[in-house]
Structure 1
C-alpha cells in the first residue's frame, strides 16, 4: 500500500483536512496559495530541527516546535500551551525522510568525537551524554514514528485534529501519510 499521498491540487487534500488549518498548510506550502492575514496562530506544527526544511506559510499562521525527529514527547507543555492559551485546534506533525534521528546509534562515534573536537568535551562526558540521551531521541523509521506520535497525541488531546505528514527533502513538498 502506498503510504504517502502527494498533494498537487486542493482535490488531493483528504476530506477531513479540507477547509481546516491543516488543509491551509498544504495549500500554502505545496500549492503556492496566496497568503491570508492572521492575527493569531491557527495551527501548531511539530517538525524536525533539520536545517534542510523550510515551510512556506504566512506570518502569524502557526506555532512551530522544532525538535530532533519532530519528537514532541519532551515538548508536551509547549503543545499544551499552544492549545490552552494559543487556542489552536489543529496540529500538523511533520516527519521528513533522511532524518538524522533514524538509526542514531550508528552515529555514536561521530557524535562523541564531534563533542570532543567541536565543544571541548572530555571523551567520558561525551560518551555518557550520548548514551543517556540517544535512546530518548532515536525514532526508528520516520513514517512509523510520526504515526505513533500522532496516535499518542490524539489520545492525549482528543478534541484536537492531528495530521501526520512527511516532508520529502528531494522535492521540498509535504505529503499526507495514509493511516
Structure 2
C-alpha cells in the first residue's frame, strides 16, 4: 500500500530528492520557483498521464515528457531508454494522478465500445479492440500502480533516480509517495 505525502515546504521533500532534478521539479511546480536557470538539455524524464486536466509548471528544456494513459511507461520503454542513453537524464519522475481513466477500465467497457461505434467502428471490431488492449492498459489502483511502475523502472535503470509522485486534481499539486510502513511487512512488501 502506498501513502501520499504532502509537500508544503522545501523541507517536506524527501532528502534523496533534494538537490536533484526531482527536487527541482517539485519546487518549480508546487512552489513556483523562479526559472532562473537556462537549460540547454533535459535534466529529467517525466512520465505522466495524457489526461488533459494536468499541466506542469516547469522551465523550457528542463525535461523530456512522455504522456501516456496513466503514465504507463511499459509501452514507451524505448523512449525511456533513449532519454537515459542518448539524452543523458539520470532522474525519472513518474507522476500518477487521482481519478485516472485507466483505473477500472472494465467499468468503462460499454461506453468505450459504444463511443467507437458512434464514430464509425464495426461493433465487433470495437469490442475486440477493447478486449485486446484493456488488459495491457488497466492499472488498478493509481497509487499502487505508480509505486509498482517506479520499482520496475528502478530495476531496469539501476543508476537512475526514479521518484513516484502523485498529482492531485483538486489542488494541482505534486505529492510524494512512499510505502506505508505501518502495515505488516508481508502486506507492505506487496
Aligned-partner Cα distance in 2 for 1:96–1:161: 20
Aligned-partner Cα distance in 2 for 1:16–1:165: 14
C-alpha spacing 1:2/1:106, structure 2 compared with 1 (3 Å): closer
Aligned-partner Cα distance in 2 for 1:50–1:171: 15
Aligned-partner Cα distance in 2 for 1:177–1:110: 32
- 1:122-153 CA-partner distances (Å, limit 9, x unpaired): 10010000000000000000000000001111
Cα deviation, residue 2, structure 1: 7.9
Cα deviation, residue 4, structure 1: 1.1
Aligned-partner Cα distance in 2 for 1:21–1:166: 16
Gaps of 5+ in 1: none
- The answer to whether structure 1 residue 147 and structure 2 residue 151 are counterparts is no
Cα deviation, residue 8, structure 1: 1.2
Q: Give the conservation status (yes or no) of the 8 Å contact 2:2–2:143.
A: no
| Correspondence for 1:31 | 31
C-alpha spacing 1:154/1:133, structure 2 compared with 1 (3 Å): same
Give the alignment of 1:30-179 within 5 angstroms: 30-35=30-35, 36-117=37-118, 119-179=119-179
Aligned-partner Cα distance in 1 for 2:169–2:30: 13
| Correspondence for 2:185 | none
Q: Helix, strand or coil for the counterpart of 1:178?
A: strand
Aligned-partner Cα distance in 2 for 1:54–1:160: 24
Aligned-partner Cα distance in 1 for 2:64–2:155: 21
C-alpha spacing 1:33/1:68, structure 2 compared with 1 (3 Å): same
Number of aligned residue pairs: 178
- 1:145-175 CA-partner distances (Å, limit 9, x unpaired): 0000011110100000000000000000000
Aligned-partner Cα distance in 2 for 1:175–1:126: 37
Task: Give 4+ residue runs of structure 1 displaced > 3 Å after superposition.
Answer: none
Aligned-partner Cα distance in 1 for 2:101–2:2: 24
In the superposition, the TM-score normalised over structure 1's length comes to 0.98
Gaps of 5+ in 2: 180-190
